[in-house]
Structure 1
Amino acid sequence: MGYAVVLGEALVDLLETQRDGELIYRQAIGGAPLNVSVGATRLGGEVQYLGSLGNDTLGDRIAQFLRQTGVGTAGVTRVPVPTTLAVTTFEGAEPTFQFYGEPPSYALLRPEDIDEKVVAGAAVVYTGSIALMREPFLAAARKAWAVPGPLRVFDPNVRPKLLPDAAAVTALRELVSGFFATADLVKLSAADAEVLWDGADPAAAAERILATGAKAVVVTCGAKGAYVATAGNPGVMLTAPTVDAVDATGAGDSVMGALVRRLLSDGVPAEPEGWQNYVRFALAVAGLVCERRGGAVAMPTLEELTDRWGALL
């Protein structure tokens, strides 16, 4: 089993909650790509994280957390700005994010920080999410994405709070389409699809993405499950396991982490049924994440997954 390279943001979530009748914010390490790194690692995969961290106490905590989790940090760059904060509010278990910090500490990875030999040696390269909306990170991600060899895995991870108008949505759609076109796998949420294509449902979104050149698409639909489609084959809606969700933060990222883990161990499925099996596994991971609080810290191990659902691999 080879390793994965993951590029994107790491930050600190401030999660809104109640304690003794008072509104407080609980600190949690997060950022979608960091969550993917941790999720794949805890499931037994090997991951090298490439990203920029602030040079403050919070940046130190993120770096320590990655090391303790077993995520490779040789590609981490420390930058002289405070760590970005994401204030997280909830409607039920579903989170909404508002970001604070300028320039964002997570988007300062430069093209010259990318070790092309590390990327070329990987079995999988992942990028995506809000870091792509800023330079120099976008240039760094494009450099890594262009390295031949690894499977390419992408997640747009749309955040409406960062899209003030229709022009911003159009610009993001054009940006992510460039990555879709050469992706072996695209994972996005139904909410992402609605923003990018004016209310498009999962099937319509998958069709659009496959038309760009992507080979497989997974659209997560919260408690309903996920829609899976591959080039030249009809899509299938898969149901999610029933859980008592308390916090959906990081659930979509855990799906991606689980898919990366399966790609590392078993490669690209030869048939659509193989992708469906991967996604069923990933939905079981996400269900367990939703039964816990906090993003990265909620990512389960294989042992915890087996304890909850039985044998899945």
Structure 2
Amino acid sequence: MGYAVVLGEALVDLLDTDVDGQPVYRPAIGGGPLNVAVAVARLGGGVQFVGSLGDDALADRIRAFLVSAGVGVAGTVTVPAPTALAVATFAGPEPDFRFYGEPRSYALLTADDLDVALVEGADVLYCGSIVLLHPPVLAAARRAWRMAGALRVFDPNVRPRLLGAPGALSALREVVAEFAASAHLVKLSTADAEVLYPGEPVDGVAAYLRELGAATVVVTLGEDGALVTAGSDLVRIPAPKVRALDATGAGDSVMGALIADLLVDGEPEDPVGWQQRVAFGLRVAALVCESPGGAISMPTRPAVAARFPT
């Protein structure tokens, strides 16, 4: 079995919680792509994380956490910046993120920083998330996307609070269209779809991304499961019913599960194969939702099988 390259951000989440009735923020290593990489590793896949890390103690913790989780860090670079923070507050299980730190430690990877052999040797390449809002990392992602002989997967992972600048949303739409046009798989959430294409039904968004060139599109629908379109089929897959404690990283875990299965068996031969893989990804996400935190709650395959015997 080969390996996946996950290109994106790693940072520290400060999660809103309470201790003895007092409000506190609990630090947790995070970032959507980091969550994806850890999910792949926990599900038995080989994976390398590519991105920029700060030069402080928090960055050392991120690097050590990745290594302990079985994620390779040969493609990371250290930059002269404090580790960026994402402060998460909860009105329900879904977190609302606000980002702090300048310059953003996760946004300083350049095209020249790429380990060419590492990227070219990957069987799956993941790009996406908030790093694509920053020109240096966008250039690096574009270079990786062009050089990869791998299966290419994309996740916009939109954070609306980072789109306040004039023209930011339209620029992101162009980037999404660019990567989707040659993606083997695009995964996005209903929240992503609503920000990118206001007023459009998720079925229509999935169809649009397919028309652009994406071979398969998966839209996660929270507790309602996911929509999968591959071939001529458009199917809704139900999610397991669980009591969600914290949905941080749930969508990332679906992507991680899909990448892990791509590493094992390649692309499914038919739409039914994609539906089965998405159903497994939703079981992974349901288990993630039952535990606090994002990356630390990514389960193993035996844990998923034990929780949701089929």
The structural deviation recorded for 1:163 is: 1.1
**Residues 242-290 of structure 1, C-alpha deviations (whole Å, 9 max, x = no match):** 0111000000000000000010001101110000001000000000000
Look up the match of 2:285: 286
Look up the match of 1:80: 80
**Distance of 1:288 and 1:121 partners within structure 2:** 32
Look up the match of 2:33: 33
Residues 129, 157 of structure 1: 8 Å contact kept: yes
**Distance of 2:89 and 2:220 partners within structure 1:** 21
**Residues 49-71 of structure 1, C-alpha deviations (whole Å, 9 max, x = no match):** 11110010100000000011110
State the secondary structure of the residue aligned to 1:200: coil
**Distance of 2:178 and 2:98 partners within structure 1:** 26
Look up the match of 1:70: 70
Aligned: 1:180 with 2:180: yes
1:95-134 to 2 correspondence within 5 Å?
Answer: 95-134=95-134
Look up the match of 1:302: 301
Moved over 4 A (4+): none
Look up the match of 1:7: 7
State the secondary structure of the residue aligned to 2:147: coil
* Residue 165 to residue 52, structure 1, CA distance change in 2 (3 Å): closer
**Distance of 2:146 and 2:3 partners within structure 1:** 18
Q: Quick one: which amino acid aligns to residue 144 of structure 2?
A: A
**Distance of 2:282 and 2:148 partners within structure 1:** 30
Look up the match of 1:215: 215
Q: Quick one: which amino acid aligns to residue 112 of structure 1?
A: D
Q: Quick one: which amino acid aligns to residue 25 of structure 1?
A: Y
The structural deviation recorded for 1:165 is: 5.9
Root-mean-square deviation (CA, aligned residues, Å) is 1.0
Q: Quick one: which amino acid aligns to residue 158 of structure 1?
A: V
Residues 193, 199 of structure 1: 8 Å contact kept: no
State the secondary structure of the residue aligned to 1:136: helix
State the secondary structure of the residue aligned to 2:233: coil
Runs of 5+ consecutive residues of structure 2 not aligned to the other structure: none
State the secondary structure of the residue aligned to 2:273: helix
Runs of 5+ consecutive residues of structure 1 not aligned to the other structure: none
**Residues 97-117 of structure 1, C-alpha deviations (whole Å, 9 max, x = no match):** 000011110011111111222
Q: Quick one: which amino acid aligns to residue 302 of structure 1?
A: R
Look up the match of 2:147: 147
Look up the match of 2:20: 20
Residues 122, 148 of structure 2: 8 Å contact kept: no
Bigger CA drift: 163-172 or 273-282?
163-172
**Distance of 2:288 and 2:216 partners within structure 1:** 24
